[in-house]
Amino acid sequence: MKMNKESSYVIKRLILVILVLFLGALALGIGLMVGYGILGKGQDPWAILSPEKWHELIHKFTGN
């Protein structure tokens, strides 16, 4: 099945959006790890990506 111009354009834009979202999430993760592990003097940079650490941080700031 041959794609027409419009569907090809939509697919290219969708791939671009997915790529930008992926790169943004990757940059956010790297930034969190650098900020927590290196600048914040945390023991393990990977620890910031664990749900337990996020629960601890949310509890610290909200008191819940």
Closest to 61 (Cα-Cα) out of 53, 46, 45, 28: 53
- Degrees to nearest 5, angle at CA 32 with 55 and 37: 90
pTM: 0.71
- Degrees to nearest 5, angle at CA 37 with 35 and 38: 70
Residues of the chain with confidence (pLDDT) below 70: 1-2
Q: What is the pLDDT of residue 61?
A: 92
Q: What is the rounded CA–CA span in Å between residue 32 and residue 47?
A: 10
